[in-house]
Amino acid sequence: MKILNMEEFIIEAGMQVLNGPRDMSIYDGKAFECACGETHNFESWMDVRNFVTTGVNAKMMVVCPNNSHITTLIKTKYKFLVVFNGFESIAGNKGV
């Protein structure tokens, strides 16, 4: 995972999904690597923004549950297009 300043982080995230927030509760309880260095379980309240990605994947910016200044850009991974196979942590920002 790359640790980026906020400007680079937003560029890495790409285009934000504009048709309203998606329901990400299906991923609740699934582990992801956070920019803080720990592994956390995803909870839909952590989802700040959704971004455009390819195929069936979802890409989202999540807030660290231990430090609200830390955000991580994660993407879902699927096996055979239907079996959830975890999160890929793409980039992080440690805020101020």
The confidence score (pLDDT) of residue 5 equals: 94
Asked if residues 87 and 57 have their Cβ atoms less than 8 Å apart, the reply is no
Distance (Å, rounded) from C-alpha 44 to C-alpha 49? 11
Distance (Å, rounded) from C-alpha 25 to C-alpha 10? 24
pLDDT in tens, 38-70: 999 999 888 777 777 777 788 899 999 999 999
* Predicted model pTM: 0.87
Residue ranges per structural domain of the chain: 2-93
Q: Which structure tokens are listed for 29?
A: 């309880």
pLDDT in tens, 1-35: 999 999 999 889 888 877 766 788 889 999 999 99
Between residues 20 and 75, the one the model is more confident about? 75
